[in-house]
Structure 1
Amino acid sequence: MSFVSSYNAKPHVVLFPFMSKGHTIPLLHIARLLLHNGAAITLFTTTAKCQSIVHQFFSDNNITIIDLPFPGNISRIPPGIESTDKLSSMSLVLSFAKAMKLMQP
């Protein structure tokens, strides 16, 4: 017995890049390629990223952007810092990465 399905849903890819330009920008390029090939894309990001890089990249495309607030009151991380390139020292990367674990919808 053979089962044939006519179900041809387009693939749905969820992206949540590490909050660093070196991680975000390449994933945005991949997202464009996936969109071009018919995939649905959902991107998780923060307010600062959403307002800068992400909207410039996808202003004319159909992509779902989920804006997650970056946690506040993180030890050693000043308010408003949502990307590693904004850290005053690379010694803060571990604190920053721990703060990312606290991101919740």
Structure 2
Amino acid sequence: FTEVNDKKRFDLEKEARIYKRLSVIQGVYIPRLKYNGITLKGEKYVLATDHIIQTSRLSRIHKEAALTTIKAIHSLGIIQNDIQESNFIVGRNHNNDNVNDERVFII
């Protein structure tokens, strides 16, 4: 039981370090990290804050934006090995007053 919790804690700490490394693109290509931790049941979680508009299939334009997202992550030395459509979400760009300005985030 402790080995499982230790592994979950290690995995969460690793994810938190990666998210910190990606801090310059939070809110642009990845959701902003609000908090991370482990529940009382030993389950890891990350709370990211950005308004999600859709999680279904991506349009062609969103797929192009997803490629830009992956390039931004790779430019910071992080390799995302689980690139699939279900790992992308569409959200509003909160740095812009234009309601129609959407961003594609990877989760």
- Considering the TM-score relative to the shorter chain, is it more than 0.5? no
Higher-strand-fraction structure: 2
TM-score (norm 2): 0.27
Of structures 1 and 2, the one with the larger relative CO (CA 8 A, separation 6+) is 2
Per the normalisation by structure 1, the TM-score is: 0.27
